[in-house]
Structure 1
Amino acid sequence: MAMGPILGPGRRGRRTPMSEINVTPMVDVMLVLLIIFMVTAPLLVTGVQVDLPQSKAAALDQDQRPVAISMDARGQVFVDDVPVPEGGLSVRLADIARGASEPGGPRIFLRADRSLDYGRVMIVMGEINRAGLRRVAMVSTGADERR
C-alpha cells in the first residue's frame, strides 16, 4: 500500500495508507490486448480466395462401409457374413488390403463371441495386422444390451 503525508498542524511528515486503487496499469494492459486481438482476428478468418472449376466427376465415396469380421462361438471366421475357410483368412484379408483406396485400409469391425479363447481372437487380429490393415475396432454390446 502507498503511504501519503497527512498535512495537519504540528504533524508534518507522518504517512498514512492511501485508499485509492491505481487502475492505469490495468487499462494499459487491456488496451494492448485489445489491439493485439483486433490485428490478429482478421488474419485467422480470411483465407485465399480460389474460384474452383466445375467437374462432371462424381464425388469421392467418403462413407465407405466398414468390413465386418465376425467369429462365432465355434471359432468360425466370417468376413461380411461370408464364411472363410480355416487357412483362407490371410488371402481374403490381403485381397481387402489390395482393394483399399486409403492408407491403412478400410475400417474393420471385429466381432468375437465372448466364449472364445483370447488366443484365437489374437490370431485373427495378428492376421489383420499382417495384411496391413490398421483401422481396426473391436465391437461390443453396451451394458443395457446384455442379456
Structure 2
Amino acid sequence: MTRNTRSKPFSEINVTPFVDVMLVLLIIFMVTAPLLTVGVQVDLPETNADTLQSDNEPLEVTIDASGNIFIQETEIGISELVPKMKAITENRLDTKIYVRGDEAIDYGQIMMVLGELSGSGFTKVALITKPLSK
C-alpha cells in the first residue's frame, strides 16, 4: 500500500483577519451610534401625558435654557422661524412640528414660539415633555 505523499496547495481562505476587522468595526459603530442622536441639550419638563405616535418624522423646534431657538440643530431668530419652517415644509401646513422647551426658560417664550407657528397656519404643533418619573 503506497500512500500518495504528493502535497496539494492549501486553497482555503483564512477568515480570522476578516472576523477581527468586522469585530473592531462593530465596536466602533456601537460606541459612536449613541453620539449621533445628540441634539441641542435641553431639560424637558415632566408630565404624565401619553406618548404621541408618529408615522413620519416631525420637525423639531427647540428652545434652550438661554432662550435661543433652533430648527432641528440650526440656531435661528424668532423673526426667521415662520419663513424657514414654510420653506422646509414646502408650505404643507399639516406637517407635524414638535416644540421642545427647556424647563428653565420662561413659559412666555414657549408660548411666543407656539403662537408664531399656530398663527402662521401650522395645524399640527405639539409641546414635547418627558414622562413623569415615578
Provide the TM-score with structure 1 as the length reference: 0.49
Within-5 A mapping of 1:124-135: 124-135=113-124
Question: Is 1:91 the counterpart of 2:83 in the alignment?
Answer: yes
Which amino acid counterpart does residue 68 of structure 1 have in structure 2?
A: E
Cα root mean square deviation, aligned: 2.1
Is 2:132 the partner of 1:140?
no
Any idea what SS the aligned residue of 1:74 has?
Answer: coil
Mapped partners of 1:93, 1:63: distance in 2? 20
The counterpart of 1:120, out of the listed 104, 109, 114, is: 109
* Contiguous gaps of at least 5 residues in structure 2: 1-53
The Cα shift of 1:87 comes to 2.3
Distance in 1 between residues matched to 2:102 and 2:68, nearest whole Å? 10
Matched AA of 2:110: V
Q: Percent identity over the alignment?
A: 26
8 A Cα contact 1:97 1:132, kept in partner: no
Which residues of structure 1 form unaligned runs of 5+? 1-61
Partners of 1:130 and 1:111 lie apart in 2 by 18
Question: How far apart, in 2, do the equivalents of 1:72 and 1:110 lie?
Answer: 11
Which structure has more relative contact order (CA 8 Å, sep 6+)? It is: 2
1:68 matched to 2:60? The reply is yes
Instruction: Give structure 1 regions of 4+ aligned residues with deviation exceeding 6 angstroms.
Output: none
SS of 1:87's equivalent? helix
Partner amino acid, structure 1, of 2:90: R
Q: How does 1:25-104 map to 2 (within 5 A)?
A: 63-100=55-92, 104=93
Is the contact between residue 67 and residue 107 of structure 1 (CA under 8 Å) also seen in structure 2? yes
Q: Secondary structure at the match of 1:65?
A: coil
Q: Count residues with an aligned counterpart.
A: 81
TM-score (ref. length: structure 2): 0.53
Deviation at 1:130, TM superposition (A): 2.0
For 1:95 and 1:132, the matched residues in 2 are separated by 13
Q: Which SS does the other structure have where 1:69 is aligned?
A: strand
